[in-house]
Amino acid sequence: MPLTDSMSETLPEAKDDQVSGFAGLGIAPELLSALASLGYEEPTPIQREAIPPLIAGRDLLGQAATGTGKTAAFALPMIQRCVDGNPKPNRPRALVLVPTRELAMQVSEAVHRYGKAKGATVLPIYGGQSFRQQLRSLERGVEIVVATPGRAVDHLERGTMILDELTMLVLDEADEMLDMGFAEDLDKILSHASPQRQTALFSATLAPRILAIGERHLHDALRIAVARERTPAGELPRVRQVAYVVPRVHKPTALGRVLDMETPTSAIVFCRTRLEVDQLSDAMNARGYRAEALHGGFAQEQRDRVMQRFRSGAADLLIATDVAARGLDIEHVSHVVNYDVPTEPDAYVHRIGRTGRAGRDGVAITFVEPREHRLLRNIQQATGQKITPATIPTVADLRHRRLELTRASLKETILAGELTVYRDLVNELASELDPMDVAAAAVKLAHESSRAEGKAQADEKDIVVEPRDAQRRGPPPERPSWGFEQRGQERGPRPPPPRDRGNRHDSVRIFVGAGRFESLRPGDLVGAITNETGLTNASIGAIEIADRFSLVEVATEHADRIIQALRGTKLRGRRVIVRRDQPT
C-alpha cells in the first residue's frame, strides 16, 4: 500500500466565509443543510483534510485523536457516496467498524442525524443486542451498518450480512480494536469485503501494526495526520495536566481533596481493576459525591443505565476501568483522573482525550505513587507535553477554598436581588445585636450547609507522603524535580523476630526490598514463591511487611532456591533486592 502524504497533494481549500467552509469541501447541498441545522459552521482540521479525498473515492489512513470531529469526516462522504434510497436485503453499501457498543450507538446516531435529509438507513450491530432484531433489520435492507468486529463476524459466518456490494468500509479507533484483540476479526472482515470498495482507517496512533493493516488492505491510500493543537505562547493549554505524588493508602482521601478543590462539573476516574472501581465508587459516594461505577462485569442494561445517569448530570463521577470506558464519547467531561499511572503513553493519550473537547478547557489529573515517576517521565517524553507536579491540598487549603465558594455564592445571591423578604428579619436582629455578628452568623450557616463543608469533617488529618519514621532519621532528603522521596535501602524499625512455629526451627529469613509503600501484600510474596519455585505453602513461614521492605521466613533447605527465583521475577511490577536477612 503506497502511502501518500496529504501535505504533498493539492486538496480543495475551504473558503474564508465560515458558512461556506463545508461547501468548499465538495459536500452535497442536502448535507450542507443538515450541518447548518445542527449548528456546524467551520470544519475541523481532520474534516478539512479527510472529506475531499473520501468524496473523491480515495483510500485513506488518518491519524486523529478522539474528539477531533473524525466521525463527521468519514460519515459525510459515506452518506454522499453510499446512500441512494435503494437498500438491498443483507447487502449494506457501507460498513463502519468500531471497538465498543457505546461507540457503535454514538456513530450510528451521528450518521442518522447527518443523513436524515437523504433518508439514510443506518443499523448499529453489537453484542448484547437481540440477534433476531438485527436479522430482521438486515433482511429489510439497510445502507449503512455500524458494528463491533465480533458481531460483524457472527453475521458474516451466518451469511446474514454479505459484503460483496460494499462501496465503503471504515475502521474507526483502529488502535483500540487491536488493543482489544480484534486483529483476526478485522482481517476476516476486510478479506470478505468487495475488492472494489473504498477503505478508510482512523487511529489515534499510527503504530507499526496499524500501518501493517494499511499495507495489506488499503490501496494507493492517502495518509493524513492531524497534529495536536499547539497553544500560542502566553495562553493556557486546553487540557491542564497535573500530577500528585501520593501513597496508595491515601489515594481515596487525596482524590476527595483534589476534587473538592477543582469542583468539576463532571469527571471520569480511571482505575486498573474492577475491585478498585467498586471500592472507590463506594468511598466517593460516602464523601457525598454522586459516583457511578462502570466495568466489564456490568450487563449491557446496567451500562446503559449508568451512562444515562452520567450524561444527564445525575452523577458527578464516572469511575471506570479502561476497557469499560473505551469508545465513550461524552462532550461535557471537565476532568479526567488517572487514579493509577497508565503503563503505556497511548493509554494516557486516550484517557485525557475525553476532556477539553469542542474548544472547552479540561483538566487531566494523575496520581503517582512513590517510585512511579519514571512512568510519568516516559509519558511526557512520548507525548511532548508537560505534566506539572502539584501538592495535595491541605485541610487549610480546603477550608480556604470552601470559604471562597461561599463568598462567591453570597455575592451571586446579592446581585440577583429578591432579598426584600429577608431585610425585615435582618433589621429586627440588628436592633438587638451587632449587625456584623448577624452577617457573620448568616455566612456561617450558609457555609456549613454546603455539601463540601459536610465532607470536610472526615478530613482533619493531612496526607503524609514521607515514611512514618522519617522524623526519627532527621529531615527528609532534598526532593528532585518531581517531589518524590529519594529512598535508599536504609531500614527503619525492624519487625520482631518470627514467632516460634514449632516445626520451623530450621528456618531463615529472607530480606525483600519492597513493602507497604509498594502496596506489597503477603499474598504477593506467597504467590511469587510458589509459582516460581513449585514449592508449597508449607515451605513458607511468617511474613512481616514493613514500609519499605519485607521479611519472609522460609525453610533453610529451600532458601537459596527461593532467593534466586525472586531475583528473577517482578514484585508489584518491578525487580527488587532479595537476599538472606542480616540480623543487627
> pLDDT tens for residues 485-503?
333 333 344 444 444 333 4
Least confident of 28-42, 87-101, 175-189, 402-416: 402-416
Angstrom distance (rounded) from CA 407 to CA 278 = 35
What pLDDT band is residue 96 in, cutting at 50, 70 and 90? very high
Q: Does residue 218 carry a pLDDT above 80?
A: yes
Share of the chain above pLDDT 70, in %: 81
Q: Identify the pLDDT of residue 227.
A: 61
What pLDDT band is residue 40 in, cutting at 50, 70 and 90? confident
The boundaries of every CATH 3.30.70.330 domain in the chain are: 488-580
Angstrom distance (rounded) from CA 572 to CA 553 = 20
More confident residue, 577 or 501: 577
Q: Identify the pLDDT of residue 328.
A: 65
CATH fold, domain 488-580, is Alpha-Beta Plaits (3.30.70)
In angstroms, the Cα distances linking 26 to 19, 52, 56, 144 are 13, 6, 9, 21
Angstrom distance (rounded) from CA 188 to CA 22 = 35
Q: Interhelix angle for 251-262 vs 274-286, to 10°?
A: 60
Angstrom distance (rounded) from CA 203 to CA 225 = 10
454: its cell numbers: 459536610
Which pTM value belongs to this model?
A: 0.51
In angstroms, the Cα distances linking 161 to 81, 105, 177 are 20, 19, 20
- Mean pLDDT of the region 103-124: 90
Angstrom distance (rounded) from CA 485 to CA 245 = 10
Q: Partners of 294 in the beta sheet?
A: 320
- Mean pLDDT of the region 283-287: 82
Q: Identify the pLDDT of residue 470.
A: 37
> Hunting for cell 471562597 — which residue is that?
404
Q: Identify the pLDDT of residue 132.
A: 87
Q: Partners of 240 in the beta sheet?
A: 363
Q: Does residue 9 carry a pLDDT above 60?
A: no
Q: Does residue 469 carry a pLDDT above 50?
A: no
Q: Identify the pLDDT of residue 238.
A: 73
Q: Does residue 454 carry a pLDDT above 50?
A: no
- Mean pLDDT of the region 32-39: 85
Which parts of 222-273 fold into alpha helices (H)?
251-262
Q: Partners of 337 in the beta sheet?
A: 269, 365
Angstrom distance (rounded) from CA 200 to CA 567 = 48
Q: Identify the pLDDT of residue 149.
A: 92
Q: Identify the pLDDT of residue 138.
A: 94
Q: Identify the pLDDT of residue 90.
A: 93
Q: Identify the pLDDT of residue 53.
A: 95
Tens of pLDDT, residues 298-315: 777 788 888 888 888 888
Least confident of 324-338, 411-425, 497-511, 513-527: 497-511
| Residue 200 dihedral angles phi and psi, to the nearest 5° | -130, 135
Q: Does domain 3-225 have CATH number 3.40.50.720?
A: no
Q: Identify the pLDDT of residue 476.
A: 39
Q: Identify the pLDDT of residue 485.
A: 33
Neighbours of 65 (CB within 10 A): 18
Q: Does residue 120 carry a pLDDT above 70?
A: yes
407: its cell numbers: 463568598
Share of the chain above pLDDT 90, in %: 25
Q: Does residue 221 carry a pLDDT above 60?
A: yes
Superfamily of domain 239-394 in CATH is P-loop containing nucleotide triphosphate hydrolases (3.40.50.300)
Q: Identify the pLDDT of residue 325.
A: 66
Q: Does residue 92 carry a pLDDT above 50?
A: yes
Three-class DSSP category at 213: helix
Q: Identify the pLDDT of residue 14.
A: 39
Tens of pLDDT, residues 127-168: 877 888 899 999 999 999 999 999 999 999 999 999 999 999
Tens of pLDDT, residues 544-574: 887 778 888 888 888 988 998 888 887 877 7
More confident residue, 488 or 20: 20
The overall average pLDDT reported for the chain is 78
More confident residue, 238 or 498: 238
Tens of pLDDT, residues 316-372: 899 988 766 665 667 678 899 999 888 777 778 878 878 876 566 789 999 998 877
Q: Does residue 285 carry a pLDDT above 80?
A: yes
Angstrom distance (rounded) from CA 34 to CA 40 = 9
In angstroms, the Cα distances linking 131 to 137, 158, 305 are 10, 11, 21
List the strands of the sheet with 291-294, edge to edge.
291-294, 317-321, 267-271, 335-338, 362-368, 239-245, 388-390
The boundaries of every CATH 3.40.50.300 domain in the chain are: 3-225, 239-394
Q: Identify the pLDDT of residue 99.
A: 87
Q: Does residue 17 carry a pLDDT above 80?
A: no
Which parts of 268-372 fold into alpha helices (H)?
274-286, 300-312, 322-325, 345-352
Angstrom distance (rounded) from CA 20 to CA 481 = 50
End-to-end CA distance of the chain: 68
415: its cell numbers: 446581585
